Amino acid sequence: MDFGFLTREASFDGGRIGGALADLGNAVFALFWEGGEPRLGTLTITLPGRVSTSLLGERDRELGLLLGEHLSQLSGKMALVSTNLQASTGSRAGRVLIDLARELVGALNEGEG
């Protein structure tokens, strides 16, 4: 079994937001972070049908739930999402993060590495 993360970056407010996505067969695992180094952050999980919950952390909770719902809908699988963003970035970066999530799922569906 080949296990790896697809990674992409997006520019935001003079900095970088990174995203990574792994396909686990029955789920996708996504990480979103600000800066050059991936970091674990607030964890959320979403099941198909938009049943969501926060597992760890509060700062990016709403954003993680929103991204999880989007990823679950796009992939048809449960979505585990980690978000680690500066407090000032969170809600302002919503559109950039949604676009980054779409790009990652599209690359996954096309079989990119």
**Residue 49 half-sphere exposure toward CB, CA atoms < 13 A:** 2
pTM for this predicted structure? 0.90
Phi, psi for residue 17 in degrees, rounded to 5: -120, 125
Q: Which residue blocks in 1-113 are alpha helix, DSSP H?
A: 61-75, 94-109
Q: What is the pLDDT along the chain (113 residues), one digit of tens a residue?
A: 456 899 999 998 888 999 999 999 899 999 999 988 899 999 999 999 878 999 999 888 999 999 999 999 999 999 999 999 887 776 688 889 999 999 999 988 887 65
What's the number of domains the chain is made of?
1
1 domain residue, yes or no = no
Query: Quick one: pLDDT at residue 110?
Result: 83
Amino acid identity of 30? A
Nearest to 88 by CA among 60, 52, 66, 67: 60
113 domain residue, yes or no = no
Specify the CATH number for the domain of residue 73. 3.30.230.90
